[in-house]
Amino acid sequence: MTSAGLLSLYDLTQAQLAEQLAQWGEPAFRVKQIWRWLYQRFIADVDEMTDLPRELRARLKEHFVIGRLQPVAVQRSRDRWTRKWLFRLPDGSEVEAVLMEYDGNRRTACISSQVGCAMACSFCATGQMGFMRNLRAGEIVEQVIWIARTLGQSRLTNIVYMGMGEPFANYQSVMESIKRLTTPASEGGFGIGARKITLSTVGLVPGIRRFAEEPLQINLAVSLHAATDELRSQIVPINTRYPLHELTKATRDYIRKTNRRVSYEWALIERVNDTLEQARALVELVRQTNPRDDANLVHVNLIPLNPTQGYAGHAPNLKRRYAFCSVLERAGIPFTLRVRRGIDIAAGCGQLKAETTRCTDE
């Protein structure tokens, strides 16, 4: 299906597709027709676009492929609620995407924005593999399409940009992918609501400031992981470039400008960042971030560390987790202590590394 030389139809905006079709003398309404096949029916072959003239289908096949992602493996967690795909791209690089299902009501796709990552967060398997390249907008979108196709009638309800890569380091393509995924169904698009999408950054301050200017209602998550510069620079090296006072100021300005809630992500690592000192420093940081006395504006997500081969740290025991939580609770900081998901197939936060065992259970 894929070919290294050809553009994918998912690489095109509606305007680009319209331009191409106009050059071929096709009417403008074909854009919506084609997008419906791509974004609502998730077809795998141009010939499935049965309401298009045969000549147009032949032209599309001559100039484009439907997609550039080739699934080479899919794994499902023992509890059946998490699935992970490994996709190969035409240049041979590989990325992973994860589907997490919750109680039969919420189905979240966790997608990648880069092949590898240059941010080198110490506990993260993607960071340990280094940076290869940015994904195109179409390659990001296609991960969602694959997962949506698998789900069929039970639609995807949420999308999180929390897979491999730092989304703000691939800003243009990520924003373009969001535009395509939020194009309304009435216009032929995938039609997911912007509020159902969360973008997670490790704290690229210029990205946060730029994102604040976007006319989008996307949720923002900031991977904090430590509340003092000394510790954060060890775990999240980009902190040396954008230290905490700059990060919290940018986040505060973002909230002030957009009036939208931000979540701080915190991978709890035993005897590294699960101490009461760090909890107290986090309380301070959340207060500094919050531009108003409104508890709804900053939320803390605590995720007990998922194991990776290249990092010796591990998740704290329950006693230490609850001790950390109680500091936040007493200070009135809203938080969630997350349940770890998909660890047995290395699909948890920070575990994606594009080395899924080549086996399928579909």
CB of 141 to ligand SF4, least distance (A): 19
CB of 263 to ligand SF4, least distance (A): 15
| 117 belongs to the catalytic site | no
Which residue from 126, 124, 135 is spatially nearest to 265, judged by alpha carbons? 124
Residues 6+ apart with CB under 8 A from 355: 86, 346
Cβ-closest position to ligand SF4: 127
Of the residues 26, 94, 96, 101, which is catalytic?
96
| 349 belongs to the catalytic site | yes
- Is the Cβ of residue 127 or residue 207 nearer to ligand SF4 in the bound state? 127
Q: Beta 106-110 vs 158-161: how paired, if at all?
A: parallel
- Is the Cβ of residue 31 or residue 221 nearer to ligand SF4 in the bound state? 221
DSSP string, 193-219: -GGGEEEEES--HHHHHHHHTSS---E
- Is the Cβ of residue 170 or residue 290 nearer to ligand SF4 in the bound state? 170
Where b means 16+ CB within 10 Å and e means fewer, 167-180 reads bbbbbebbbbbbbb
Alpha-carbon distance 335 to 339, whole Å?
Answer: 13
Of the residues 110, 117, 124, 349, which is catalytic?
349
Alpha-carbon distance 272 to 274, whole Å?
Answer: 6
Alpha-carbon distance 218 to 195, whole Å?
Answer: 5
- Is the Cβ of residue 191 or residue 237 nearer to ligand SF4 in the bound state? 237
Chain position carrying tokens 């969001």: 178
CB of 347 to ligand SF4, least distance (A): 14
- Is the Cβ of residue 43 or residue 302 nearer to ligand SF4 in the bound state? 302
Alpha-carbon distance 251 to 257, whole Å?
Answer: 10
The site for ligand SF4 (CB under 6 A) is made up of: 117, 119-121, 124, 126-127, 164-166, 202, 223, 350
Rg, the chain, Cα only: 21
Residues 6+ apart with CB under 8 A from 146: 69, 71, 85, 87, 97
List the catalytic residues: 96, 349
